[in-house]
Structure 1
Amino acid sequence: MSTGATTTVEIDTTLFITVSGPPGCGATTLCERLSDAIGCPYVSGGDIFRELAEDRGLNLNQLTAEADADDEIDRAIDGRLQSIAEKWGTANKPFILESRLAGWIAGDRADLRIWLDAPEDVRLERIEDRIETEPEMRVREVSEAGRYESYYEIDIDEREFYDLQLNTARWGKEGVFQVIRAAIEEYDPDADTGAFPTPELDP
């Protein structure tokens, strides 16, 4: 039986990995653990959004409202993430990119695209200690989905191109990590007969 305890793990890989999912899905926890195990950097779109809010003296809800009114904010963030994806997509070094649109932004440059999710009540419980409130989270999810559709004609619920989709409520943090670890370590490019193509995104 698993005790939920974490152990020191090293993962030898050169994969460019994207991790996406709604707030409270466990993406940050997974990325931090993977980054430590692989020994590689990762960039979070949420961190960039929060930094932008802080720079402007706004809370997340206020910046979300501004983003609804002005596409410059989203396009600037997504353009920065795309530049990062382009850089690491040709580096042949391990890297992790995390954001709701990371899989779309990285596209075929990514070696492994992951979507994490969990039932809404589980996700709400996970964000209880965050600055962002439950109503703000709901507003942000709906607002982001609408903006993605408006700006890029993206349906965030279209997920067939993700290589892995995982309900993180079914495993503990260590279990989620071990599932993803196994996928990374068992990946054999010679046995890879093809990923689903990702439509091009133009921020």
Structure 2
Amino acid sequence: MMEEDAATGRSVDSNLFITVSGPPGCGATTLCKGLSRSLECGYVSGGDIFRELAEERGMSLSQLIAKADESDEIDRALDRRLRTVAEQWGASNKPFVLESRLAGWLAGNRADLRIWLDAPEEVRVERTRDREELEAEMRVREVSEAGRYESYYGIDVSDQSFYDLQMNTARWSPEALLDIVLRAIEDYDPEVDEGAFYTPDIEL
């Protein structure tokens, strides 16, 4: 019997590969940690890999963000690492959570459930006040990344039509949000799933 999650009082037995995406301050990290506890599985964050890239290059996050604006090297290095993770876990038949802005696209059809989180800008700004990024940098990064994704891969990050769940995280507490997502995972039956969107692999 799996140990129950302290926040929700429940756990879920599942082998789904789940992706979580959204802009900075959307609550993705909090949800992923809750899913990891409840599913007793690991998760990989694009933000953590981005920080790894910064450390490897002896740069701050702000410096790496600026570097990413100059060429496609940083974005593609990040996305290749995330794609490798998606390939490994997509074939493992074990529960796993992958979080990044492009996680749903990078995982492609390996993903069983793709989640998009968002919240009003003022809420997201408040949530990120203690991070290294400044408010202005966060907004510039969002616009810059959107343009690069369109240029590199032909991806419109504002198109959320292929996500299975889209949630405004400002409308529920973190515990309630986790409970809603766990219920969706628990009730998912691939045998009756007729709504999955085909997602071809993007060229990295």
Q: TM-score, normalised by structure 1?
A: 0.94
Q: Percent identity?
A: 67
In structure 2, what is the equivalent of residue 149 of structure 1? 150
One-letter amino acid matched to 1:177: L
In structure 2, what is the equivalent of residue 201 of structure 1? 202
Give me the whole-angstrom Cα distance separating, in 2, the residues matched to 1:156 and 1:99.
12
One-letter amino acid matched to 2:113: L
The structural deviation recorded for 1:31 is 0.2
Give me the whole-angstrom Cα distance separating, in 2, the residues matched to 1:115 and 1:158.
11
Which runs of 5 or more structure 1 residues have no equivalent in the other structure?
none
Task: Between 141-150 and 25-34, report the one with greater CA deviation.
Answer: 141-150
One-letter amino acid matched to 1:81: L
Q: Deviations over 1:153-179 (max 9, x none)?
A: 111111111000000011010111011
In structure 2, what is the equivalent of residue 123 of structure 1? 124
Q: Deviations over 1:55-79 (max 9, x none)?
A: 3232222111111112111111101
Q: Matches of residues 1-203 of structure 1 in structure 2 within 5 Å?
A: 6-203=7-204
Give me the whole-angstrom Cα distance separating, in 2, the residues matched to 1:72 and 1:131.
22
Check whether the contact 2:8–2:178 (CA below 8 A) recurs between aligned residues.
Answer: no
Q: TM-score, normalised by structure 2?
A: 0.94
Q: Deviations over 1:2-53 (max 9, x none)?
A: xxx8244321000000000000000000000100110111001111001211
Check whether the contact 1:19–1:97 (CA below 8 A) recurs between aligned residues.
Answer: yes
The runs of at least 4 consecutive aligned structure 1 residues that moved more than 4 Å come to none
RMSD: 1.2
The structural deviation recorded for 1:196 is 1.4
Task: Between 186-195 and 38-47, report the one with greater CA deviation.
Answer: 186-195
Give me the whole-angstrom Cα distance separating, in 2, the residues matched to 1:111 and 1:7.
23
The structural deviation recorded for 1:143 is 1.3
Equivalenced residue count is 199
Check whether the contact 1:33–1:177 (CA below 8 A) recurs between aligned residues.
Answer: yes
Give me the whole-angstrom Cα distance separating, in 2, the residues matched to 1:116 and 1:187.
19
One-letter amino acid matched to 1:102: A
SS in structure 1 of the partner of residue 170 of structure 2: coil
SS in structure 1 of the partner of residue 117 of structure 2: strand
Check whether the contact 1:22–1:141 (CA below 8 A) recurs between aligned residues.
Answer: yes
Give me the whole-angstrom Cα distance separating, in 1, the residues matched to 2:136 and 2:103.
24
Give me the whole-angstrom Cα distance separating, in 1, the residues matched to 2:15 and 2:137.
37
Check whether the contact 1:8–1:37 (CA below 8 A) recurs between aligned residues.
Answer: no
SS in structure 1 of the partner of residue 20 of structure 2: strand
One-letter amino acid matched to 2:137: E
Check whether the contact 1:64–1:143 (CA below 8 A) recurs between aligned residues.
Answer: no
Check whether the contact 2:27–2:169 (CA below 8 A) recurs between aligned residues.
Answer: yes
Give me the whole-angstrom Cα distance separating, in 2, the residues matched to 1:130 and 1:11.
32
Give me the whole-angstrom Cα distance separating, in 1, the residues matched to 2:161 and 2:147.
20
